[in-house]
A and B are shown apart, each in its own frame.
Chain A
Amino acid sequence: MTITFPAPVIEPVDLPHPVTGAATAPLLSVRDLAVTFAHHSGPIQAVRGVSFDIRAGESVAIVGESGSGKSVTARAILGIAGTNATVTAERLSWGDADVRTLTERQWRSIRGRRIALVLQDALSSLDPLRRVGAEVAEPLAVHRLLPRALRKARVRELLTSVGVPRPDVRARQFPHELSGGLRQRALIASALAGAPELVIADEPTTALDVTVQAQILDLLADLKSRGTALLVISHDLAVVAQIADRVLVLHDGVVVEQGPTQDVLTRPQHEYTRRLLDAVPGPDSRGRRLSDDSARPHDHKSSSSLDAPVVLRAEDLRKSYRAPGGESTIALDGVSFELRRSEILGVVGESGSGKSTAARVALGLTEPDSGGVEFLGDAWSGLPEAKRRARRPRVQHISQDPLGSFDPRQRAGAIIADALARVGVPRAERAGEVERLLVSVGLPPTTASRRPASLSGGQRQRVAIARALATRPEVIVCDEPVSALDVSVQAQVLDLLADLRDRTGVALLFISHDLGVIHHIADRVLVMKDGRVVEQGAVHDVFTTPQHPYTKQLLASLPSLPPRDDTSERILDAQD
């Protein structure tokens, strides 16, 4: 297969305005943008050759994985790339003005007023010491758009327009008193206060639950229909499919492909785009590998797992935590499940649904208030630690934050060797066994001498998996094991976990907020909400014919990719 590189740049033509129907000049025009950072080892080019236009009422998305330069591009457009960055462009114009010649003072009259930025992490983007109302009103005050007396009413309007209930109460609260979704809305309200013509949203929904994400995406779509231009930076192709008219796929600082979203996502031309799309887990990816082109299925026959013996059984688990205020929050409210040998049991739910508490109880790290867990038919919960210790190596854990689960003083090899020592592998055999485990999770043996902090996110998670495997466990509890990873790395780790299950027959309790991941990998699924299991069953049944309204709502909120037109071609490619 030949790859044309760079992908043909779609030269902008004067398209009719989606709202007014009239042809309009672009609001923002970027040609051949490059950003270079000064570094003591020499200049580092973060981005090059980025060209696109945005008109009023249009939305353009920049998609890429971490390090692709997508956020740098957004910052360069806003003139905030940093003091050690050199931004060059053949053209970088805002309306009629050439932004390359703007002074800092002129920039300030544009930022927040005509171009607004919405960042991912609303908690750290909002000043913790200022009330939400003051934060929302800031552009009004800074740009002297509205006299003080009228601001309060405007803040209420803005908060109402982004769907914040009880805006008067919320405006008096501090950011930490708001939920993640409300904070993100407040941040958007603040961005909208100056009535900007362009909103740049950098991963606007990444930290949010799916149902909240759906609301924020609706909000952004609504903005667009009212004539605001959107530049969305995201790693999530499904989100982009939902919201963008055009998309730029960025890889290692280079635009590998760009064009209308529908075209790029259904008929990707560049191999990287294809790989990225293949890596997205979901209903269509079940039974195939995510990280390589081949449609080679996993060997697992999931139908047989219902006859397999139960390894972990949870009966009517209840757990509540006392909050500092004296109220108690119920984390688990009558949760029961069975995990069979060689099975992947998915637990899906939004934040606060109790899924992590369920994981901790299954691990024997948290005792339930009532109910109990049995491991291989013997009591596992409600025991003094000493009675559990001997069996602990057989129930292992993979967490979302592998780095935090490694002693910062140890190297990767020592971390795994500790686990081997625990199950009595003689000292002389440990080095060889560490090597074998590293290779089995797809890492070179030399990884043993590396410090976890110097490894990439995917490598760290592989080391964590190798450690979990070292004790030859019956059960591995995976708590959001791929949430912190890029989609292509996530694909590799999911493939690895599925392979390991097939190879070793280990049972996985797989906790995730990502329905696509669960749909891809799990055999059965528990859907949790407010500490209860609202629905459970075989993944296919639950996700295609959901019974509970909450499951239906979750699935409806999930942004999805348009079906591919190039699948036949891909299968042909794979057969070559």
Chain B
Amino acid sequence: MVTLDVPLPRRQARLLRTNLPIGFIFAGGILILLIVMAVAPRLFTSVDPLLTDPLAAFQPPSSAHLFGTDQLGRDQFARVIYGAQLSLGMGFGATLIGLMAGLTLGLVAGLSRGWIDRTLSRIIDILYAFPEMLLAIIAIAVLGTGFSTLLIAIGIGSIPSYARVLRSQVLQVRSSGYAEAAVTLGQRPALIAWRHVLPNSIGPALVLATIGVGTAIIFGSALSFIGLGAQPPTPEWGLMLSDSRNYLTLAPWLALWPGVFLAATVISVTVIGRWLQRRFVSSIGDQR
């Protein structure tokens, strides 16, 4: 038999050859910019987003105030920049909470047979039956407002989808040849779950989570918009949209920029998530 010992620089080649779609590159650029904004807002503006100046209220966009000022004379540009922090934090934080809870539920349900799986699956089904927004509002009603409550509230709604995806993957991996090979070796179930089942079934849930980040940002802003999320005077895009709606005829620029940034964030996160999904999830079966 001829054995080929040619090194395979496939991974490098894949990285160097940029056959990435232009939309992905664009979305990636926007997301990186947003992350920089969230981490170091001072790079973009030296103005305090909370500083009020009643004399300068409702100023249209100018060189001094790029995006104009709001009803209290706060610099809208600074508020939009600082808003990235909260929106991204909310998006990633809530997704992380939902993902963790979902993965735990899904893994336990998928690994256990019988009544534990049935019970957990019914709980997941019941959670699924409620609209995510309703779940979030219930959570806030019970726990009160606040940033961490907000994260939990948004996260709860996404638990069932992650749990379901992971459970179905776990069931698939469990019946795979390599899980069976580990059983045939007499490996302990916990070791099989940790070394083989979890790493091979987590992929689709992670990809789903990138799309989930976009949804979580929208939800956070929506909750802020109806007054259940971030509280004034926090610079948060949803809250800013909510404030601006009373002055739409007077100062339309107030609604424009938070809306544009919110849309751009969600679209870029979703574009990246969709790309990851196409790239990895559809071919998970033959990625062996």
Determine whether the beta carbon of B185 is less than 8 Å from that of A404. no
* A422 engages B187 (CB within 8 Å): yes
Question: Which residues 411-458 of A sit at the B interface, judged by CB distance below 8 A?
Answer: 418-419, 422, 442-444, 446-447, 452-454, 456, 458
Known contacts: A409-B200, A443-B3. The answer to whether A365 contacts B183 by CB under 8 A is yes
Q: B65 near A: Cβ within 8 Å? A: no
CA distance A456 to B195 in the complex (A): 25
- Taking the complex as formed, is B12 at the interface, i.e. its CB lies under 8 A from any CB of chain A? no
Minimum distance in angstroms from B175 CB to a CB of chain A: 11
Given contacts A406-B178, A408-B200, A409-B200, contact A419 B185 (CB under 8 A): yes
Q: Are B184 and A365 in contact (CB under 8 A)?
A: yes
Chain A: CB-nearest residue to B183:
A365
Q: Is the CB of B186 within 8 A of A408?
A: no
By secondary structure, the A interface counts as helix
A536 close to B (CB within 8 Å): no
Distance, CA A492 to CA B1, complexed state (A) = 8
Contact digits for B240-251, partner A, Cβ 8 Å, 1 yes 0 no: 000000000000
Q: How far is the CA of A443 from the CA of B5 in the complex (A)?
A: 11
Choice from A393, A403, A446 contacting B288 with Cβ under 8 Å: A403
Asked if B186 contacts A389 (CB within 8 A), the reply is yes
Q: Scoring B residues 157 to 178 as 1 if CB is less than 8 Å from chain A, else 0, what string do you get?
A: 0000000000000000000111
- Chain B residues, Cβ within 8 Å of A452: 288
Q: With a CB–CB cut-off of 8 A, which chain B residues contact A422?
A: 185-187
A364 to chain B, nearest CB (A): 8
Chain A interfacial residues counted at CB < 8 A: 38
Kindly identify which residue among B182, B183, B188, B199 contacts A409, using a CB–CB cutoff of 8 Å.
B199
B270 → chain A, closest Cβ, in Å? 28
Asked if B180 is at the interface of the complex by the 8 Å CB criterion, the answer is yes
Known: A399-B177, A401-B177, A444-B5. A407 touches B196 (CB 8 A): yes
List B residues 1-31 near A (Cβ within 8 Å).
1, 3, 5, 8
What residues of B have a CB within 8 angstroms of the CB of A399 in the complex?
Answer: 177
Tell me the residues in window 179-203 of chain B with beta carbons closer than 8 Å to chain A beta carbons: 180-188, 195-196, 199-200
Complex Cα gap A470–B183 (Å): 15
Q: Are A404 and B187 interface neighbours, CB within 8 A?
A: no
Q: How far is the CA of A409 from the CA of B201 in the complex (A)?
A: 11
Question: B179: nearest residue on chain A (CB-CB)?
Answer: A407
CA distance A351 to B176 in the complex (A): 21
Q: Does A397 count as interface, using CB distance less than 8 angstroms?
A: yes
Interface size on B, residues (CB 8 A): 22
Q: Give the complex CA separation of A388 and B178 in angstroms.
A: 19
What is the number of contacts between chain A and chain B, taking CB atoms within 8 Å? 71
**Contact A418 to B185, CB < 8 A, known contacts A399-B177, A404-B177:** yes
B288 contact set on A, CB distance < 8 A: 403-404, 406, 408, 452-453
Bound: A403/B177 CA distance, A: 8
Q: Which of A390, A403, A407, A446 is in CB contact (< 8 Å) with B186? A: A390
Q: Give CA–CA (A403, B5) in the complex, Å.
A: 19
Does B287 make an interface contact (CB < 8 A)?
yes
Given A459-B1, A492-B1, A405 contacting B177 (CB threshold 8 A): yes
The answer to whether A392 touches B185 (Cβ under 8 A) is yes
Q: Are B184 and A444 neighbours in the complex by a CB distance under 8 Å?
A: no
Given contacts A404-B178, A492-B1, contact A454 B185 (CB under 8 A): no
Chain B CB within 8 A of A184 CB: no
Closest to A477 in B: B184
Q: Is the CB of A447 within 8 A of B3?
A: yes
Residue ID in chain B nearest A467 by CB atoms: B181
> How far apart sit A389 and B186, CA to CA, in the bound complex (Å)?
5
CB distance from B75 to the nearest CB of A (A): 50
**13 residue pairs bridging A and B, Cβ less than 8 Å apart:** A392-B183, A393-B185, A393-B186, A404-B288, A405-B177, A405-B181, A407-B196, A408-B200, A422-B185, A442-B1, A443-B3, A444-B3, A452-B288
Binding site for B on A (CB under 8 A): 363, 365, 388-393, 395-397, 399, 401, 403-409, 418-419, 422, 442-444, 446-447, 452-454, 456, 458-459, 467, 471, 489, 492
